[in-house]
Amino acid sequence: MESSIPLPTPFLGLLIPIFALLLPVFIVGIVFWYKAREKELQYHQDMRIHEMEHQQKMKELEIELEKTRARQPTEKQA
């Protein structure tokens, strides 16, 4: 009593080569996406670092400007 389901051999004969060709394409696509995502994350991290450095420099310049403004009235009185 053999109850095996017959496989559509011509259909599998067509699908296996197609899958064999598509599998490397999918693997390369996944690897490319992973590398691109890593570069994107690195770019965002670099941009955040530059933004923080810029904010720090702006604060320093603002403090310097306040010091200069504070000195101006004393210089005018002299």
CA 6 to chain centre: 49
Mean pLDDT of 7-11: 71
Which pLDDT belongs to residue 9? 74
Q: How confident is the model at residue 7 (pLDDT cuts 50, 70, 90)?
A: low
Pick the closest to residue 44 from 36, 34, 55 (CA basis). Answer: 36
Tens-digit pLDDT profile for residues 54-75: 999 999 999 999 999 988 876 6
Buried b (16+ CB within 10 A) or exposed e, 26-53: eeeeeeeeeeeeeeeeeeeeeeeeeeee
Which pLDDT belongs to residue 75? 64
Which pLDDT belongs to residue 73? 75
Render 8-33 in DSSP notation, one character per residue. Answer: -HHHHHHHHHHHHHHHHHHHHHHHHH
pTM score of the predicted model? 0.59
* Cα first-last separation, the chain: 115
Q: How confident is the model at residue 78 (pLDDT cuts 50, 70, 90)?
A: low
